Amino acid sequence: MDTRGPLCVGIDPHAALLGAWSLPDSVAGLERFALTVVEALADRIAVLKPQSSFFERFGSAGIAVLERTIAEARAAGALVILDAKRGDIGSTVEAYADAYLDPSSPLFADAVTVSPYLGFGALEPFLGAAERNGCGVFVLAFTSNPEGASVQRAVTPDGTAVGAAILAQAAERNGTAVPMGPVGAVIGATLTDPIPFDLASLNGALLAPGLGAQGATPQDLRAVFGDALANVVPSMSREVLRHGPDVPVLRRVARQAVKDCRIALGYAFPDH
């Protein structure tokens, strides 16, 4: 983000977007879509985030496209967050960690999104693998969707919101690691109620989805993240993707989004 600017673009090949790009809703269409985004953005945008579901829809052939998408994006210099939102009992999480955070895996990514709602402790194999392999995990804390609050803002017996308790455990795990620990969190940019946790104390990256199609704007980031702005990774998918399939247009739109986020987050360095 220091060199490319603060932006994550999601690779979300919705069936409707394939149609809008005049592509068939097929493996061939999926591949063309994902690789076009990679061609347009992977050499210039800091982070790309393929959403696993849209690849899984096509079974093993779709997973093969996901493997290629991740590998080509990483080869072009982007960091890749695989958005898979995985979580399970610890022994199963171990296999998920092998799938996404072991450098020898065909689905190896720089980071993965994980769900802590089987208990933060059950995520341990992800956290260990991230530490060993220089990767990250993004733990769902306060998500961008309105339904999330009924679980994430529910209060534990000691009066803490569930999402805040998750963040406290993530912060403890990150400790004083420099420049920050491997445990990031997902905090929706759409949120209007205050986050009941000091986000700067996480000492981890803060993935902020919800910009664009879900209604949030870069200008909203300051109100949501307060003094943790330096750790925010603003994320948008449809807001950029809907401008495809023309590569120069995708580049122009993403470049403008980087600029908007840079201003909103108070980045000091000049535009490039």
Q: What residue ranges bind ligand OMP (CB under 6 A)?
A: 10, 12, 51, 83, 85, 113, 143-145, 186, 188, 209-210, 212-214, 235-239
> How far, in Å, CA of 204 to CA of 198, rounded?
12
The one-character DSSP state at 199 is G
Instruction: Using DSSP, state whether 224 is helix, strand or coil.
Output: helix
Residues 128/178/120/101 CA torsion (nearest 10 deg): -40
- Nearest distance from C-beta of residue 111 to ligand OMP, angstroms: 11
104/192 with CB nearer ligand OMP: 192
Which residue, chain included where needed, has tokens 């109620």?
193
If the CB atoms of residues 176 and 192 are measured against ligand OMP, the closer one turns out to be 192
Residue 160's CB is within 10 A of a number of other CB atoms, namely 15
Helical packing angle, 27-41 and 247-265, nearest 10°: 60
> Quick one: 16 or 155, whose CB is closer to ligand OMP?
16
Looking at the Cβ atoms of 104 and 188, the one nearer to ligand OMP is: 188
Alpha carbon 3 to its chain centroid, in Å, reads 19
Shortest reach from residue 269's CB to ligand OMP, in Å? 26
Q: How far is the CB of 176 from ligand OMP (least distance, A)?
A: 26
Least Å distance, CB 271 to ligand OMP, is: 23
Catalytic site includes residue 85: yes
Catalytic, out of 4, 74, 85, 255: 85
Phi, psi for 156 (deg, rounded to 5): -80, 170
The catalytic residues are 85
